[in-house]
Amino acid sequence: MDTPSPKAQPTALVVHDRLMPGSALANRLVDRGWRVHSQSGVDRLLEWMRSYRPMLLVIQLDLRGGDVCRLIQDLRADVGLTHIGILAYGPLASSRLRESAIVAGAQVVAADSSILDQLPTLIETALAVD
């Protein structure tokens, strides 16, 4: 089987400031044929997304120095970015944060402890068209 050309690869942005599972998520996406960009913060994130128009945003909910739920709301409010699937993840104990992410517009919210094992299904759900 031929490897898809870089132009044929879907683009994902992984935003995290913790090595695990952030780096492992990026590696798994690459293994599944995605072109992946990683960032450690939310500064200029909307600007980046307007330029590169990724299909998928995988974002850590408990980023230091950033209001991830506000960012998700801003993303959903931008008509040019509503197509982006959002897969958010965070600590299992933070149910309030997970609920806030769903209200803000994340299609899928997963626990750190299970995201790697469930990644293919979570991506499929995040990219499903309503």
pLDDT along the chain (130 residues), means of 10: 59 89 92 92 85 91 88 92 92 80 94 92 88
Q: Residue 130 has what pLDDT?
A: 62
Cβ-contact 60, 95 below 8 angstroms: no
β-strands 11-15, 56-60 pairing:
parallel
Q: Residue 3 has what pLDDT?
A: 47
> Rounded to the nearest 5°, which phi and psi values hold at 85?
-75, 140
**Which structural domains are found in the chain, ordered by start?**
6-127 (3.40.50.2300)
Cβ-contact 96, 104 below 8 angstroms: no
